[in-house]
Structure 1
Amino acid sequence: MAANTYPQYSTRYPLLLTDFMHRPVSLYPDDIGVVYRNDAGEYYRFTWRQWYRRTCRLAHALKQLGIKPGKPGEPGDRIGAMALNHHRHLELIYAGTCLGAVSHPINVMLSREHMIHTINHAGDAIIFVDEAIMPLLELIYDRIKDTVKAFVYISDRPGKPQTRISPLYEYEELLKGQPEEFDWPFLSEDTYAVLYYTTGTTGVPKGVMFTHRQLYLQTVNILAASMMRFHAFALEFLEWLFTAKAEAIGKVIAAGGGASQILEELKKDFPIYDVPLVNIPLFHIHAWGAPWQNVLTANKIVFPGRFSPRAFCEIVQTERVTSTGLVPTMLAMLLEFEDLNKYDLSSLRAIGVGGAALPLGLKAKAEKQFPTFRVSSGYGMTETAAGSIAATLKRHMITWPKEKQDQVRVKTGLPIFGIQAKVIGEDGKPVPQDNATLGEIVLRGHWIMEQYYKDPEKTETAWRDGWFHTGDMAKVDEEGYIVIADRITDVIRSGAEMVPTVLLENLTATCDHVLEATFVGVPDEKWGERPMALVKPVPGAQVTEEDIYHFLEVEGVEKGKITKWMLPDFIAFCDNIPKTSVGKYDKITIRKRLDEFLAKAKRMRAPK
Structure 2
Amino acid sequence: MALRFVERAAEAHDFPLTIRHLLDTSLVTAADQEIVYRDEVRITYRTFHERLGRLASALTALGAAEGMTIGVLDWDSHRYLECYFAIPMIGAVLQTVNVRLPPAQVAETINRAGAEILLVHRDFLPLVEALRGALPNVRAIVALMDGDAAPPDYAAGEYERLLQDADPDFEFRDFDENAMATLFFTTGTTGSPKAVCFTHRQIVLHAIVANGPFGGLHSRGFGADDVYMPLTPMFHVHAWGMPYVATMLGVKQVYAGRYDPDTILDLRAREGVTFSHCVPTILQMVLAAADRRGADLAGWLMTIGGSALTQALCREGRRRGMELVSGYGMSETAPLLTVSRPRREGGSDEVEALTMAGVPVPLVSVRVVDETMRDVPADGVSRGELVIRAPWLTGCYVGDTRASDALWRGGWLHTQDVATLNREGYVQIRDRLKDVIKTGGEWLCSVTLEDMIADLPGIEQVAVIGVPHPHWGERPLGVVVAVAGHTVTLEQVNQRLDSAIASGEVSRYARLESLELVETMPKTSVGKVDKKALRALYAAPPVASA
Pick the aligned partner of 1:154 from 139, 144, 147.
144
Pick the aligned partner of 2:61 from 64, 68, 86.
64
Pick the aligned partner of 2:208 from 193, 215, 220.
220
Distance in 2, matches of 1:179 and 1:8, equals 35
Query: For the Cα contact (< 8 Å) 2:151–2:158, is it kept in 1?
Result: no
How far is 1:375 from its partner? 2.2
Query: For the Cα contact (< 8 Å) 2:56–2:170, is it kept in 1?
Result: yes
Q: Tell me the alpha carbon deviations over residues 127-180 of structure 1, each in whole angstroms, 9 at most, x when there is no partner.
A: 111112222223322222x121110100221343446xx343210121123222
C-alpha spacing 1:228/1:587, structure 2 compared with 1 (3 Å): closer
Equivalent residue letter for 2:463: T
How far is 1:199 from its partner? 0.4
Pick the aligned partner of 2:218 from 232, 248, 266.
232
Equivalent residue letter for 2:330: M
Pick the aligned partner of 2:522 from 535, 555, 578.
578
1:240 corresponds in structure 2 to none
Query: For the Cα contact (< 8 Å) 1:515–1:537, is it kept in 2?
Result: yes
Map 1:377-416; keep pairs closer than 5 Å.
377-393=326-342, 396-397=344-345, 400-401=346-347, 403-416=348-361
Map 1:357-396; keep pairs closer than 5 Å.
357-368=308-319, 370-371=320-321, 373-393=322-342, 396=344
Pick the aligned partner of 2:193 from 189, 192, 205.
205
Q: Compare the two structures and name the one with the higher helix fraction.
A: 1
1:295 corresponds in structure 2 to 247
SS at match of 1:84: coil
2:462 corresponds in structure 1 to 517
Pick the aligned partner of 1:472 from 406, 410, 417.
417
C-alpha spacing 1:532/1:123, structure 2 compared with 1 (3 Å): same
2:26 corresponds in structure 1 to 24
Does 1:36 find its partner at 2:33? Answer: no
1:15 corresponds in structure 2 to 17
Distance in 2, matches of 1:180 and 1:161, equals 23
C-alpha spacing 1:584/1:345, structure 2 compared with 1 (3 Å): closer
Q: 5+ residue gaps in structure 1?
A: 1-5, 70-75, 238-270
C-alpha spacing 1:339/1:427, structure 2 compared with 1 (3 Å): closer
Equivalent residue letter for 2:466: G
Give % identity: 32
Which moves more between the two structures, 130-139 or 188-197?
Answer: 130-139
Pick the aligned partner of 2:79 from 66, 75, 88.
88
How far is 1:338 from its partner? 6.4
Map 1:274-289; keep pairs closer than 5 Å.
274-289=226-241
Question: What RMSD, in angstroms, separates the aligned Cα atoms of the two structures?
Answer: 2.2
1:602 corresponds in structure 2 to 544
Does 1:482 find its partner at 2:427? Answer: yes
Query: For the Cα contact (< 8 Å) 1:356–1:583, is it kept in 2?
Result: no
C-alpha spacing 1:137/1:276, structure 2 compared with 1 (3 Å): same
1:337 corresponds in structure 2 to 289
Query: For the Cα contact (< 8 Å) 2:215–2:342, is it kept in 1?
Result: no
How far is 1:221 from its partner? 1.4
How far is 1:290 from its partner? 1.9
SS at match of 1:498: strand
2:4 corresponds in structure 1 to none
SS at match of 1:95: helix
For normalisation by structure 2, the TM-score amounts to: 0.94
Query: For the Cα contact (< 8 Å) 1:129–1:154, is it kept in 2?
Result: yes
Equivalent residue letter for 1:215: I
Equivalent residue letter for 1:226: P
C-alpha spacing 1:147/1:331, structure 2 compared with 1 (3 Å): same
Q: Tell me the alpha carbon deviations over residues 428-462 of structure 1, each in whole angstroms, 9 at most, x when there is no partner.
A: 11111222222001111201111111111111111
Distance in 2, matches of 1:419 and 1:478, equals 16
Distance in 2, matches of 1:298 and 1:409, equals 28
Query: For the Cα contact (< 8 Å) 1:81–1:105, is it kept in 2?
Result: yes
Map 1:164-563; keep pairs closer than 5 Å.
166-223=154-211, 225-226=212-213, 229=216, 232-233=218-219, 273-337=225-289, 340-346=292-298, 348-368=299-319, 370-371=320-321, 373-393=322-342, 396-397=344-345, 400-401=346-347, 403-554=348-499, 556-563=500-507
Distance in 2, matches of 1:168 and 1:520, equals 48
Equivalent residue letter for 1:184: F
Query: For the Cα contact (< 8 Å) 1:17–1:212, is it kept in 2?
Result: yes
Equivalent residue letter for 1:62: L
C-alpha spacing 1:487/1:7, structure 2 compared with 1 (3 Å): farther
Equivalent residue letter for 2:332: E
C-alpha spacing 1:350/1:570, structure 2 compared with 1 (3 Å): same
1:263 corresponds in structure 2 to none
2:536 corresponds in structure 1 to 592
Equivalent residue letter for 2:324: V
Q: Tell me the alpha carbon deviations over residues 71-104 of structure 1, each in whole angstroms, 9 at most, x when there is no partner.
A: xxxxx11110110111111112211011111111
1:139 corresponds in structure 2 to 130
Which moves more between the two structures, 486-495 or 438-447?
Answer: 486-495
How far is 1:66 from its partner? 1.2
How far is 1:595 from its partner? 5.0
Which moves more between the two structures, 133-142 or 272-281?
Answer: 133-142
Query: For the Cα contact (< 8 Å) 1:276–1:302, is it kept in 2?
Result: yes
Pick the aligned partner of 1:55 from 47, 52, 56.
52
SS at match of 1:127: strand
Distance in 1, matches of 2:469 and 2:215, equals 50
C-alpha spacing 1:80/1:434, structure 2 compared with 1 (3 Å): same
How far is 1:228 from its partner? 9.3
How far is 1:341 from its partner? 4.5
SS at match of 1:602: coil
Distance in 2, matches of 1:481 and 1:51, equals 40
2:5 corresponds in structure 1 to none
Query: For the Cα contact (< 8 Å) 2:418–2:431, is it kept in 1?
Result: yes
Distance in 2, matches of 1:454 and 1:301, equals 36
Distance in 2, matches of 1:159 and 1:23, equals 37
Distance in 1, matches of 2:209 and 2:278, equals 22
Does 1:115 find its partner at 2:106? Answer: yes
Distance in 2, matches of 1:222 and 1:341, equals 33
How far is 1:344 from its partner? 4.2
C-alpha spacing 1:272/1:121, structure 2 compared with 1 (3 Å): closer
Structure ID, larger Rg: 1
Give the count of matched residue pairs. Answer: 539
C-alpha spacing 1:340/1:603, structure 2 compared with 1 (3 Å): closer
